[in-house]
Amino acid sequence: MVIYVDPKLIGRRNFEKLEKLYPYIDIVTDVINKSEIEVLFTMPQIVKEMNISDYPKLNWIQYLMAGYDGVDLDLLRKNNIDFCNAQDIFSKSIAEDVFSKIFYFNRNINYYLQCKKEGKWEPIREEPELSNSTVLILGVGSIGKELALRFKAFESYVIGFRSRNIEAKHFDEIITENEELNIALQKADYVILALSLSEKTKYFFDKEKINMMKPSALLINVARGKVVNQEDLYKALKEKRIRGAGLDVLDPEPLPKDHPMWKLDNVYITPHNASSSPFMRERLYRMIVMNLDLYLEGSPVKYKLN
Catalogue the active-site residues: 224, 253, 272
Cβ neighbours around 110 below 10 Å, total: 13
Question: Bridge-partner residues for 37, per DSSP?
Answer: 2
Q: How far apart are CA 22 and CA 119, in angstroms?
A: 59
Of 288, 296, 238, 284, residue with least CA distance to 265: 238
The count of other CB atoms within 10 Å of the CB of residue 7 is 15
Cα within 13 Å of Cα(272), Cβ side: 13
Classify burial at 250, counting beta carbons within 10 Å of its beta carbon; exposed 0-12, middle 13-18, buried 19 or more. Answer: buried
Q: How far apart are CA 269 and CA 68, in angstroms?
A: 23
